[in-house]
Amino acid sequence: MLVVLAIVGCWLKAKVESSLNASLRSVLQTTLQSEREAVRNWLRMQRNQAESAATDSQIAAKIRSLIAQVHPNATSVELLNLPSAAELRTEIDPLLAAQEYNGFVVVERSGRVVASYRSELVGWQLTDLEMKPLREIGFAGQSLVLPPRKSKIAIPDRHGVTRVGVPTMFAVAPVFGESGDVIALLGLRIQPEVEFTRILEIARIGETGETFAFDRNGVMLTNSRFDEQLRSIGLLTEGEDSTLNISLRDPGVDLTQGTRAKLPRSEQPMTLMATEAAVGRDGMNINGYRDYRGVPVVGAWQWLENDGFGIATKLDVREAHQTLDTINRAFWALFALLSAASLLMLLSMMRADRLAEQARLASLELKRLGQYTLEEKLGEGGMGVVYRAKHAMLHRPTAVKFLDATKTNEKSIARFEREVQLTSQLNHPNTIAIYDYGHTPEGVFYYAMEYLDGLNLQDLVERHGPQPEGRVIHILKQICGSLAEAHSIGLIHRDVKPANILLNVRGGMFDVVKLLDFGLVKLTDPSREALVTKTGGVVGTPLYMSPEAYKSPDDIDARSDLYAVGAVGYFLLTGTPLFIGESVLDILRQQVKSLPEPPSKRLKQPVSVELEELIMRCLAKSPDDRPKSAVEIIADLDKIPTATSWTDADARLWWRRYLPSTTKTPTADTAITADLAATLVVENRE
């Protein structure tokens, strides 16, 4: 009997181990694939932005003028004194600020730097090795992103310390001459220890997981999660980051336990992962190998040949096999008990079942966030990720948004806590309700809000075109009602746009507006604003941003939101945004300098004079020429003859015709919250 039980026990143990190992492989593979796609999307975005800058008519014209003035033997001083160099800087500086780049260079075909954000670089001659990818790709007419490398001149690092060897990388695009040939390359500088690292920090697993990039020599191209630990064990000096300063070498011992390596760092072998990836072999290891700290880890890796670097994701063996180790210990304890007395057999098997259940629950912990069980990812935007969730006790459908891990630091957490606290003071029926907020054990900041079921105004217009005047007025009045409450306590939304406004069916009422994402609110009371950290940047979405929000973001008031209300009304009425541009910078220029054509002209059909006049007043360039408040707009909307032309019966018929699924249970308390459209968050540069 004991032999049979032992055989069955060994079989069950093997099955559980196999299941857990398969789950671990799946987690590692999924994380690696997700990060690979995130990196590729980021690289594609950087190339597109560099191309957009290089093809901007005014920037390209300045570069062509500069190249025409440069002669082969020009000195650095002569290059710096060229009038076109100063004009280029003036033209390109707003783009650098808008796109969060830290500088630029212009390289002519000979490999000489003819213009730069740093005067020390002007006249610099690139080496043949540095020019190789530029000749093969850039001067062949294609954009590229150069992998991180150490700067050869002294520049400020991310801590503001000026020194040589600061990590730097460039998004590069060709600049074409009048005849269509490539005359120069425009490079936009990226901080890899910030921007590149941020992409690979999104999907960290547990408490010890990390994902990073590395080159063929096994040098880390992004920051490690363990920089403080690396400083304490002597692999980094004080103030030094791991980007370009850590080699993926196996010390042979766990350095975090105070043990010293037998070989100098330069003589230590590459880690198993770096050795495999350097020769182009993708792989995975769940049995354990030593990482660059000597800590046993499990991991997966892939070499990206077209991009010239590899990415790897790993997790400490201790954390990865915690559940398996628990089961192993429980199994041997169970076997001992079975051997001692068959009378305890049933009890021991029940204990094994309980342990298996604990293992299953432990694996589900990866899907828990505080007191909420995450059920489905609804979307992802510039500020974080939103999940549909269920509270552990209340079982109420909820939407949970948590801050991108790469933005998690003391300043950002303090700012987001303050914004959630302020938003929770709002109780207008057209403002989304905040239920709760907090931090996970891993330090991730999150907040829970009502889960809505409807569609946002962006989707409404894209699917069904321009809306009737009466419906536009009905929607604008509700938006202004929400804003009126916020403005009354000194809050400015700063990101009113169609994607942040949801239409719902609530409590049997149709076309109920919910204004979302007060995550960018600004206090208008200076005494209160002084209590929190300012980001010092331009915040908003270009198509709906008021002129003053771009020119002087620190001085805006509630009338900036009223401009956005006018832009939303214009979009609903005409089916098109105020301005259409070739780039973000082009749209921002139009917001500041150009007047949109009246809605009736854009729509090519009559519009109520009163409604058109009110929308154009909201869109006045000067805040003083706009309505004084959201309450005033509501009063003016009520005076428009077509204000009552959209009835509840019209709304009920529309919802049943186009979105019947949302009308089956009119009192359902559900809805997608989706502040997931890309938000422009531009940090001002000193």
Q: Give me the domains of the chain, ranges plus CATH numbers.
A: 23-194 (3.30.450.20), 204-320 (3.30.450), 370-450 (3.30.200.20), 454-671 (1.10.510.10)
pLDDT of residue 126: 93
Average pLDDT over residues 589-610: 93
Query: For residue 659, how far is the Cα from the chain centroid?
Result: 31
pLDDT of residue 323: 60
Helix (H) or strand (E) holding 172: strand 167-176
pLDDT of residue 64: 94
pLDDT of residue 675: 38
Average pLDDT over residues 576-586: 90
Helix (H) or strand (E) holding 102: none
* Residue 259, number of CB atoms within 10 A of its CB: 13
pLDDT band of 362, cuts 50, 70, 90: very low
238 or 362, greater pLDDT? 238
Q: What are phi and psi of 214, to 5 degrees?
A: -150, 155
pLDDT of residue 232: 92
Q: What's the CA gap between 330 and 348, in Å, rounded?
A: 10
Q: What's the CA gap between 296 and 190, in Å, rounded?
A: 33
Averaged confidence pLDDT in the chain: 83
Token pair belonging to 54: 């290089």
Q: Pairing between strand 434-439 and 491-492?
A: unpaired
* Residue 665 confidence (pLDDT) above 70: no
* Residue 200 confidence (pLDDT) above 50: yes
Residue with tokens 């697993």: 205
pLDDT of residue 568: 97
pLDDT of residue 684: 32
175 or 552, greater pLDDT? 175
* Residue 329 confidence (pLDDT) above 90: no
Q: What are phi and psi of 678, to 5 degrees?
A: -60, 135
Average pLDDT over residues 42-47: 92
pLDDT of residue 533: 30
Residue with tokens 């090795």: 129
CB burial of residue 149 (10 Å; 0-12, 13-18, 19+): middle
Helix (H) or strand (E) holding 565: helix 558-574
pLDDT of residue 16: 63
pLDDT of residue 334: 55
pLDDT band of 529, cuts 50, 70, 90: very low
pLDDT of residue 307: 86
Average pLDDT over residues 34-43: 90
Q: What's the CA gap between 138 and 145, in Å, rounded?
A: 10
In terms of Cα–Cα distance, which of 434, 452, 572, 574 is closest to 512? 452
Token pair belonging to 89: 């800087």
Average pLDDT over residues 630-642: 96
Question: CA Rg, the chain, in Å?
Answer: 29
Q: What's the CA gap between 613 and 610, in Å, rounded?
A: 5
pLDDT of residue 531: 28
Average pLDDT over residues 211-240: 91
pLDDT of residue 349: 64
Q: What angle do CA 305, 307, 313 make, to 5 degrees?
A: 80
pLDDT band of 31, cuts 50, 70, 90: confident
Q: What's the CA gap between 11 and 7, in Å, rounded?
A: 6
pLDDT (tens digit per residue) in 438-480 = 877 666 778 888 888 889 999 999 999 999 999 999 999 999 9
Q: Which of 249-253, 280-284, 318-322, 573-577 has the lowest mean pLDDT?
A: 318-322
* 3-state helix vs strand vs coil in the chain, percent to 5: 45, 20, 35
Q: Which of 201-205, 304-308, 599-603, 621-625 has the lowest mean pLDDT?
A: 201-205
SS3 of 623, please?
A: helix
Within 312-433, where are the H helices? 317-320, 322-340, 345-364, 410-423
* Residue 571, number of CB atoms within 10 A of its CB: 24
pLDDT of residue 534: 36
pLDDT of residue 443: 67
* Residue 334, number of CB atoms within 10 A of its CB: 22
pLDDT band of 489, cuts 50, 70, 90: confident
Token pair belonging to 31: 């994380």
Token pair belonging to 457: 């105004």
In terms of Cα–Cα distance, which of 551, 514, 565 is closest to 670? 514
> How many residues comprise the chain?
686
pLDDT of residue 354: 56
CA dihedral for 100, 101, 102, 104, sign (positive or negative): negative
Q: What are phi and psi of 102, to 5 degrees?
A: -105, 15
Q: What angle do CA 248, 251, 256 make, to 5 degrees?
A: 100
360 or 59, greater pLDDT? 59
Q: What's the CA gap between 257 and 326, in Å, rounded?
A: 23
Most confidently modeled range among 195-204, 227-236, 370-379: 227-236
What percentage of residues in the chain have a pLDDT greater than 70?
82
pLDDT of residue 221: 93
pLDDT band of 385, cuts 50, 70, 90: confident
* Residue 527 confidence (pLDDT) above 50: no
pLDDT of residue 328: 55
In terms of Cα–Cα distance, which of 176, 193, 168 is closest to 103? 168
Q: What CA dihedral angle connects 356, 357, 359 and 362, to 10 degrees? A: 180
Longest Cα separation, the chain: 96
CB-hemisphere CA count at 13 Å for 29?
10
113 or 341, greater pLDDT? 113
Query: For residue 97, how far is the Cα from the chain centroid?
Result: 18
Q: What's the CA gap between 519 and 542, in Å, rounded?
A: 17
pLDDT of residue 364: 36
pLDDT of residue 159: 80
SS3 of 107, please?
A: strand
* Residue 668 confidence (pLDDT) above 60: no
Residue with tokens 């990388």: 169
pLDDT (tens digit per residue) in 78-118 = 899 998 898 999 999 998 888 889 899 999 999 999 999 88
pLDDT (tens digit per residue) in 132-160 = 999 999 999 999 999 999 998 888 888 88
| CB distance 456 to 478 below 8 Å | no
425 or 174, greater pLDDT? 174
pLDDT band of 332, cuts 50, 70, 90: low
* Residue 310 confidence (pLDDT) above 60: yes
Q: Which of 45-59, 324-338, 525-539 has the lowest mean pLDDT?
A: 525-539
pLDDT of residue 18: 76
Q: Is 103 left (phi over 0), alpha (psi -120 to 50) or beta?
A: left
CA dihedral for 110, 113, 114, 120, sign (positive or negative): negative
* Residue 595 confidence (pLDDT) above 80: yes
pLDDT of residue 559: 95
Helix axes 457-464, 558-574, angle to 10 degrees: 20
pLDDT of residue 343: 59
